[in-house]
Amino acid sequence: MLPELVFSILVFPGLVFISALALFSEWFIRKTVARMQNRMGPSYVGPFGILQPFADLIKLLFVKEEIAQKYSMPTMAKFFAAMGIGAAIASLTLLPISPVRFASNYDFLIFFYLCCLWIPISLIFIGLSAPNPFSETGVSRLLTLTLIIEPSYFIIFLIPIILVTYVYGNEIPTVYSIYSTSLYSWKLWLNPVTMPLMLIGLICVLINIQAKSMFQPFNIPEAEQEIIAGFETELSGPVLGLTRLLHDIDITVSIIYVVYVFLGGPYPFRHLSLPGILLLIAKYIVVLLIVSVIKSVFGRFRIDQAIRVVFKYCLVPSLIAVIVATIVALFI
């Protein structure tokens, strides 16, 4: 099992694949948003500029100077960036995309521990490692948003997890599990009772991902021009490169989880079949496109507006959906 585990962690869907996919996703978002705003977007490095994010990353990591102001702690920032990347990649072993899959009862709690605790904490500590009034403002905004985004993310994911656990309880290998939910969530879309709940969950999770990714209209923690670059103000060179990579990996992993837990991944086809691969890619691209469209058509919210939107359109509907899902589950 060791060679397969090393392959899963380091190559697919581990470090190499997820980094490449994260950089592709960044290119896709930048290009799509640019074309919608009548700009060219990345164009020079690689075909259609597809290698531009990779070139930016290499430049920041290995070419640009590491400028440290007298109060900053760049080593701590790099440590937390690496911890965030590690947590995001480790969480992928809970999904059926990994050749070595880990599962247990209640493993969704481990997913939240890795993705909803470690990644925001990493970003917050990276911001705090270079103290500055602008980065402190950015971090306080990030903390405020995190306090409402992460609980609603948790509740939204409970909808398919509860439904799969109760509706397919006799067939699944583990209960309240990311792995089992990924295998059976596509069937919930075919059931007229569970389909509306899944639809509510999907809409909520798309809004929540937008906020989690700090994309417009939720780009308040970095608020370019308003607070210079927010929590990234004092970051430069390799620290900025690692932070951006962590941010891209966070978005990628969040979208992969939506594709599996809400949209059913490649199922009913197999992973290694052509229809399965095409379906998986199509679902990923569609979610990425929705994120890009929302990013390009909205302006920036104020912090209170952002909290109100997440509260009104993510937390409350998902809470109602979870209660209804539990009632439905008890009677099915």
Partner 1 sequence: MNAILEIMDTYMLLIVEVGVAALVSTIVIAIYALLRAKYGRRGGEASEMYIGGEHPSILSRPSAPTTGLYWGFVRAFAKKLYFYIRDIVHSGRLNEWAAYMSTWFGFLMITALLCLAVLIAR
Residues that bind partner 1 (CB under 8 A): 1, 4, 7, 9-10, 14-15, 61-63, 65-71, 78-79, 82-83, 85-87, 89-91, 93-94, 96, 99-107, 109-110, 113-114, 118, 131-134, 140, 144, 173-174, 179, 228, 233-234, 237-238, 242, 271, 304, 307-308, 311, 330
Q: By C-beta, is 288 or 306 nearer to partner 1? A: 306
DSSP labels, 162-214: HHHHHHSTTT-SSSS-HHHHHHHHHHHTTSTTTHHHHHHHHHHHHHHHHHHTT
CB-neighbour burial class of residue 99 (10 A; exposed 0-12, middle 13-18, buried 19+): middle
Tokens 């509740």 sit on residue: 155
CA-closest candidate to residue 116, choices 148, 94, 139: 148
One-letter amino acid at 60 equals L
Would you tell me the crossing angle of helices 195-212 and 178-188 to the nearest 10 degrees?
130
Between 67 and 285, whose beta carbon lies closer to partner 1? 67
- 28 or 157: whose CB is closer to partner 1? 157
Min dist CB 2 to partner 1, Å, is 11
Q: Which residue has the tokens 């809400």?
A: 262
Question: By C-beta, is 33 or 246 nearer to partner 1?
Answer: 246
3-class state of residue 226 by DSSP:
coil
Minimum distance of partner 1 from residue 66's CB (angstroms): 5
Q: How far is the CB of 238 from partner 1 (least distance, A)?
A: 6
Q: Shortest Cβ distance from residue 122 to partner 1 (Å)?
A: 10
Of 177 and 194, the one with the shorter C-beta distance to partner 1 is 177
Smallest gap, in angstroms, from Cβ of residue 150 to partner 1?
16
| CA–CA dist 40, 211 (Å, integer) | 26
User: Smallest distance, Å, CB 22 to partner 1?
Assistant: 13
**Are the C-beta atoms of 273 and 47 separated by less than 8 Å?**
no
- Whichever of 61 and 290 has its CB closer to partner 1, that residue is 61
